[in-house]
Amino acid sequence: MKGKVIIAVEFVIIVVLLIVLSTQFVSFKTIRPVVREPAAISESEVSYTPPPPPRIDLETVKKARALRAEFSPKIDKITDEIYLARGFSLGNSIMVITEEGLVIIDTTGNAQVAEKILSEFRKITDKPIRYIIYTHGHPDHIYGAPVFMAEGVQVIATRAAVEFMKRQDQWLGAYHLRSRTIQAGRAAPEFATKTVFSSPFPPWQNKQMIWPTITFEDEYVFELGGKRFELYHAMGETPGHLMVWMPGERALFPGDLYYASFPNLSTPMLESRPVKEWYESLDRMVALNPDYVIPGHTRALSGREEAVDVLSHHSQAIRYVYDETLKAINAGKTLDEAAHTITLPERLAKRWHLQELYGRVDWSVRGIYRKETGWYDGHGTGLNPLPPGHRAREMVQLAGGADKILIRAIALQKAGEHQLVCELTDMVITANPNDRTARIIKANSLEYLGYQSGNLNMFGFYRSAASLERQAADIKP
């Protein structure tokens, strides 16, 4: 009996101790994170006089002249049977003449441009078109196809290209159209300022899709009029990309896997690209030792020495950026740290075909980083973030109100620090989307950034962003 009492007392003591201990670690009330929406920010009352329109520096003028030369319509005779139409629009179109008819490689971006090109081709030959080849599914290479179509014409692409085209035109069609309109600098055109630069990007509305009639997985070979065409799946610009090799002519058609600029390894508003596969595809091309390289953009390369040299260094540049980005990821660098520190070595950066006219190294780093990692950086804050407006309102209040931030932004704008202007005005706009002054200040700095960029895509993105800010403020230039 005495033993049972002792056991009972011990049990009670243990239970009491457990209750005492549990109160140190367990709450008997429901605990939820504290989420407070800061008070709304009133619209600024700062007086603002817009700066003069941005001037174009001599370096930008030189680049503009080079681009204008690239986008002056011309038909280049590569051989007696191969003709390159370039400068009519963003994308090239290529005609190969055989005894039994024509092979058209890529068709440019819309019917109006394709009609001009076909008219020029018809001055050279009246042979019927037998095949159309899509090197990949981007709009500037496929939407001119209806002009080249006739009864019996076969359209060839990879199976992966068809899936890409479905994604681009159907599943995410509205988004792709919006992103490409922004990239071309055509967003909110009624709110855009006048510019001396005309966009080479074709308008892609009212398009008619011609779907491939022949698709393949890895390779496809056909002969026409005594000429052999070897088509190989070669990923890079898109997962469904292909290259065309004519062994008899030693002519290579790389599509967008090569053009005369550092390549656009990552388009800021679109899906990640297969960068490792891109340089591997270029290595395959180098191994062919082509005498001619006729790309989807810019001029052709003629002569084996130049062709192999350029393709080799193009591959080296892409591989370098890819490898350095992986090193940065493994070293624990953030995305921004990687993007701001990785640059091409001088031996590559100085080459004429690796200038950042169309693609950019920092954009490429960001695309590779995003493709190879997740969206969370491991630091906690970004795991379940508040709506952006919460932080922005709190920061604007801490700064003493929107007026103080915008006064500083105006001073920075006069000093030429336009990126910082955009980041400060973004804070005000995020806190109060109705702040028209903040939007106009930002729009003017965006214009300056565009003219200072020296990059075709960057200019378009900045131009569209400026127009969209003016549209949100309902203030036309």
Task: Give me the CATH number covering residue 435.
Answer: 1.25.40.880
Task: Answer yes or no: do 350 and 297 share one domain.
Answer: yes
On whether the CB atoms of residues 131 and 104 are closer than 8 A, the answer is yes
Q: Is the pLDDT of residue 354 over 90?
A: yes
What is the domain count for the chain?
Answer: 2
**pLDDT score for 72:** 85
Of 340, 372, 404, which marks where a domain is finished? Answer: 372
**pLDDT score for 3:** 63
Show Cβ contacts of residue 477 under 8 Å, excluding neighbours closer than 6 positions: 191, 192, 193, 470
- The three-state secondary structure class of 182 is helix
Nearest to 252 by CA among 200, 216, 292, 198: 292
Task: Answer yes or no: do 54 and 97 share one domain.
Answer: no
Q: Which region among 33-42, 81-90, 290-299 has the lowest average model confidence (pLDDT)?
A: 33-42
d(CA 41, CA 249): 68
For 277-307, how does the pLDDT look when each residue is reduced to its tens digit (9 = 90+)?
999 999 999 999 999 999 999 999 999 999 9
Q: Which region among 171-175, 399-403, 407-411 has the lowest average model confidence (pLDDT)?
A: 171-175
Task: Answer yes or no: do 112 and 185 share one domain.
Answer: yes
Task: Answer yes or no: do 122 and 176 share one domain.
Answer: yes
Q: pTM of this prediction?
A: 0.90
Q: Is the pLDDT of residue 7 over 80?
A: no
Of 348, 372, 396, which marks where a domain is finished? Answer: 372
Task: Answer yes or no: do 150 and 177 share one domain.
Answer: yes
Task: Answer yes or no: do 201 and 250 share one domain.
Answer: yes
Task: Answer yes or no: do 234 and 316 share one domain.
Answer: yes
Report yes or no on 234 lying in a domain. yes
**pLDDT score for 19:** 64
Report yes or no on 5 lying in a domain. no
Task: Answer yes or no: do 322 and 460 share one domain.
Answer: no
Report yes or no on 396 lying in a domain. yes
User: Can you tell me the mean pLDDT for 471-477?
Assistant: 95
Q: Is the pLDDT of residue 448 over 70?
A: yes
Report yes or no on 383 lying in a domain. no
User: Residue-wise over 202-237: b if at least 16 C-beta within 10 A, else e?
Assistant: bbbeebeebebeebbeeebebebeebebebbbbbbb
Of 341, 372, 403, which marks where a domain is finished? Answer: 372
106: left (phi over 0), alpha (psi -120 to 50) or beta: left
CATH classification at residue 272 = 3.60.15.30
Task: Answer yes or no: do 203 and 281 share one domain.
Answer: yes
Report yes or no on 6 lying in a domain. no
**pLDDT score for 424:** 98
CB-CB neighbours of 302 under 10 Å: 15
3-state helix, strand, coil in the chain (%, to 5): 50, 15, 40
Q: What are phi and psi of 94, to 5 degrees?
A: -125, 135
Q: Which helix (H) or strand (E) holds 158?
A: strand 154-158
Report yes or no on 329 lying in a domain. yes
Task: Answer yes or no: do 315 and 408 share one domain.
Answer: no
Q: Is the pLDDT of residue 389 over 90?
A: yes
On whether the CB atoms of residues 367 and 272 are closer than 8 A, the answer is yes
CB-CB neighbours of 465 under 10 Å: 20
Report yes or no on 101 lying in a domain. yes
Would you place residue 1 in the very low, low, confident or very high pLDDT band (cuts 50, 70, 90)?
Answer: low
d(CA 26, CA 120): 81
For 106-152, how does the pLDDT look when each residue is reduced to its tens digit (9 = 90+)?
999 999 999 999 999 999 999 999 999 999 999 999 999 999 999 99
For 38-66, how does the pLDDT look when each residue is reduced to its tens digit (9 = 90+)?
888 889 999 999 999 988 777 766 766 66
Percent over 70 (pLDDT), the chain: 91
Which of 36-40, 202-206, 413-417 is most confident?
A: 413-417
Q: Which domain holds residue 139?
A: 71-372
User: Can you tell me the mean pLDDT for 17-32?
Assistant: 65
Structure-token pair, residue 415: 């000093």
d(CA 391, CA 396): 9
Task: Answer yes or no: do 421 and 398 share one domain.
Answer: yes
User: Can you tell me the mean pLDDT for 215-233?
Assistant: 98
**pLDDT score for 476:** 93
Task: Answer yes or no: do 127 and 249 share one domain.
Answer: yes
**pLDDT score for 64:** 64
Q: Give the distance from CA 476 to its chain's centroid.
A: 28
Distances (CA, A) of 345 to 279, 313, 315, 324: 17, 12, 14, 11
What dihedral angle (degrees, nearest 10) is formed by the CA atoms of 114, 116, 120, 121? 20
